[in-house]
Structure formats: C-alpha cells, structure tokens
Structure 1
Amino acid sequence: MSGNDAQATFYFDTISPFAYLMWRALRRAPLAKPFKAVPVVFGALLNHWGQLGPAEIGPKRLHTYRYCQWLADREGIRFRFPPAHPFRSLDSLRLIVALGSTETAVDGVFGAIFGEGMDAASPEGLARIGERLGVADVPALIASTGAAARLRDNTEGAISQGVFGVPTLAVDGELFWGFDTLPMAIDYLADPALFESDEMRRIADLPVGIVRRKG
C-alpha cells in the first residue's frame, strides 16, 4: 500500500480527549504526509461494532480521565476537562463540518472544549465557541450547510474503511487507532514495509482461539 500520495485522514469526535491530544500532537509536529481532518460520531462507531466507550465502564472512566490528564501534563499540552463528560458532541461536530473541517475550525472547537474546559453541549456554550470562529448563529449555519447529513456521511464512510474508534489516523489504507499509535504511524511513513516482516504477516492471520459469550 506504500507509494500512495493521497492525504492521510484523521478521524475524530470532539467528545474524545485522546482525539484532542492527538490533534495537538499532529499540529506540533506535522506528519511527513498531508492529512485532512474528518469529524465522525463516536457513538455510531461504537454501536456499529458493538462496543462500549471507555467512559461507559465505571472503573475505566476514572482511569481514562487520569491517564488523559497525565498525558497532557507530560506532553505539555494545555488540557482541562469540560464540566461534564461524556457530553453531547453532535452540534460541535456539525459546526466543524459546516466550517469546512478546516484546521482553524478544529483548533477552535477542540481548544475550547479540552483546552479551556468549555461546555459545548449547551446552546450558550456552543454559541460562545461559534462567536470565536466568526459564526453569529450556529444552528442556522448548521442547517444551511447540510452539516448533519455530511457528518452522517463521514461516519458511514469511516465505518466502511474499518474505523472502529477515535482518534484514528488512516495512512495508505492502514489504520492507527489512538494517541499512543502516533509513533507507529510515523515509523510506518518512514518505512512503508513496517508490516511486511514475517511476524507482522503471521499476526495478521492469527486464528481466533476462543469466542466470548455475550449475554
């Protein structure tokens, strides 16, 4: 799959603190390949693949929040959780889509939510974020640009590519899920044969030994 000059794709949802951290890391040290930001609905990915989000598992929730704060402090990234989490992220995603999913839009929304801890789930909080981005009427902009339908299309397109979580960086058809896989993505860009070793090929076809019962 190497040798493809097409852009990489950064799939994200503004509900994800890991997506925020990965976005900030990508903005600090750009990849050796251009990439585009594509907002998707994390909940729809979870529903499609039959998963729970980390914040939906009690003990994992606190662990996740502590880990995110530690990561941010360790990486020197400005970070503050919003007033409640998880939160309804649909309108903040639609705002980004309505603004063309530009770096400025993603920076502005992500920075407000996880850089400053603003409430993007309330109409008032979303309006404040919109004002910073030069949007006087967020609901009107969302409606006039068909952002809701475009966000659904983004999500369905991501699922069709095998995306199961956020953040995910897609490079030449390979998926790198999670902030902690960014170094692996960088290594892959430096060496597109990274997954061609004997052991990498073996684990790609590793048989399933047992299937857990559900219910």
Structure 2
Amino acid sequence: MKHITFHLDFVSPYAWLAFERMPEVLEGLSYTVQYRPVLLGALLQRDGNPGPAGIAAKREWTYRHVHWLGQSLGVPLDMPAEHPFNPLPLLRLALQCSDDGSINRFVAGTLLRHVWQGGQPALDAQRLEGLQQQLQGQLRTDDQAAQRAKDWLRANTDAAAAAGVFGVPAWEVDGRIFWGLDGLPMLRDYLAQAPWFDAAHWEELPRTPSGLKG
C-alpha cells in the first residue's frame, strides 16, 4: 500500500477540484492519504513565481477555466466574493484540528467547501464563526493550539519546498511529486505500477539540456 501526502492550500481552486476528483480517479487502488496544508504564496515566492493571480490575463483565464472545469467534471465551484485572499486564517484554523501537521479529509473538505461553494467572502467574520462551529469536534482548544498551528504551517511549507513542491495541489509519494489537477491520471498510473515508471523516463527526461544560455 502506497502512502500519499496531499499538499494543498484552500485558496487554490484546483486544490478543491483535485480534492473532489481524487477518490474517483484513484478508485480501486490501495493507498493512504495525509492532507498537509501549506502556504502557496510562500512556495511561489521562493521561486519568484507570481502565480496565476499575479498576471492579469492569466488571472482572467484561470477563473474562466476553473469554473468551466467544475461544471465539466460535475464538481460545484463558485468563485468566492474576493480572490485571491489571504488564506492564513483558514490554514491555521485547519491546523488547530491537528496533532501532527496533517488534517483529515473531513477538515480539508469543510475548509474547501467554505471557500468554493456559495460564492461568499472566505474571510467574513460571521462565516468564520460558523466554520469554527462546524469544526468544533476537531478543534484543539489548549493554550498552545494556535501557536502549534502556526509552527506546523511553517514546517509543512518548508518540508514541501524541500521535497520539490512548487505549487498546489501536489501529491508526494515515494519521494516523487505529482502536480496539478491534470497530474491525477499520472499519479494513478504510478500507483497502478505502470511500466513507464520502471524505465528511465522519470530521471532522464529532466536532464534534457536547455537551449537557453545565460
């Protein structure tokens, strides 16, 4: 049985789509999953990547694309009232439901639906109170819970970057990174032991020399 670490940030619409699609795409395979919240903005900053929201034309395309993908895949997706937004409050809230930096599927789904269903402001104070009520049975309430959540988010993001994660959604298994919603079929092939992964492709293809100098 393979173990998968699913790196996600609730600000990403592709993370929501991938979260919903993953059980169907991987149906019939034996695996376990850990959901690891990471700060996407920090990953992008490390690589000097502005992300889709940092390029006006790409931002417009992304919002059209993810909404079309949602209806195409049968996954309800409503743009929140404002996007992008600062996901830190949601990430830290999720990690207050954790004892080790990982969250369960219920917590991940609750946070993702909060953002991507209903078209409401993700950080509205009243909605955040309601979100805490939904998570009440999972939230740790000791004096150190909030600080632990901050520490885990930093550690998760650093570990993801060290593993080669450059965006979300990303799945880490056996030290290999599979990125993006369209990486799910490739992940399935790997878990199903497709022969392509036994060849030299994984190691040799990235060694293709660049034709750009300087």
Q: Which range, TM-score by smaller chain?
A: 0.7 to 0.9
Among 190, 202, 212, the alignment partner of 1:210 is 212
Find the counterpart in structure 1 of residue 155 from structure 2: 153
In structure 1, how many angstroms separate the alpha carbons of the residues matched to 2:42 and 2:142?
23
Q: Which one-letter code corresponds to 1:128 in the other structure? A: G
Q: How does 1:108-187 map to 2 (within 5 A)?
A: 108-134=110-136, 144-145=145-146, 146-187=148-189
Find the counterpart in structure 1 of residue 17 from structure 2: 21
Q: Which one-letter code corresponds to 1:188 in the other structure? A: Y
Could you tell which deviates more after superposition, 48-57 or 28-37?
Answer: 28-37
Among 181, 197, 200, the alignment partner of 2:199 is 197
1:133-178: CA deviations, max 9, x gaps? 227xx8x779634211111111011011011000101121111110
In structure 1, how many angstroms separate the alpha carbons of the residues matched to 2:172 and 2:136?
31
In structure 1, how many angstroms separate the alpha carbons of the residues matched to 2:200 and 2:185?
21
1:9-56: CA deviations, max 9, x gaps? 100000000000000112445462111100000000011111111011
With normalisation by structure 2, the TM-score equals: 0.87
Among 93, 96, 119, the alignment partner of 1:95 is 93
Find the counterpart in structure 1 of residue 61 from structure 2: 63
Unaligned runs of 5+ in 2: none
Contact map agreement 1:96 1:102 (CA 8 A) in 2: no
In structure 2, how many angstroms separate the alpha carbons of the residues matched to 1:76 and 1:130?
28
Could you tell which deviates more after superposition, 167-176 or 39-48?
Answer: 167-176
Q: Which one-letter code corresponds to 1:16 in the other structure? A: S
In structure 2, how many angstroms separate the alpha carbons of the residues matched to 1:23 and 1:161?
21
Contact map agreement 2:26 2:188 (CA 8 A) in 1: no
Distance 1:28 1:201, change over 3 A: closer
With normalisation by structure 1, the TM-score equals: 0.87
Shift of 1:71: 0.6
Shift of 1:200: 5.2
Give every structure 1 segment of 4 or more consecutive aligned residues whose post-TM-superposition deviation is greater than 6 Å.
Answer: none
Contact map agreement 1:17 1:68 (CA 8 A) in 2: yes
Distance 1:111 1:193, change over 3 A: same
Q: Which one-letter code corresponds to 1:72 in the other structure? A: G
Taking only the aligned residue pairs, the percentage that are identical comes to 33
Contact map agreement 1:13 1:42 (CA 8 A) in 2: yes
Distance 1:115 1:194, change over 3 A: farther
Unaligned runs of 5+ in 1: none
Could you tell which deviates more after superposition, 124-133 or 196-205?
Answer: 196-205
Shift of 1:65: 0.7
Q: How many residues align?
A: 207
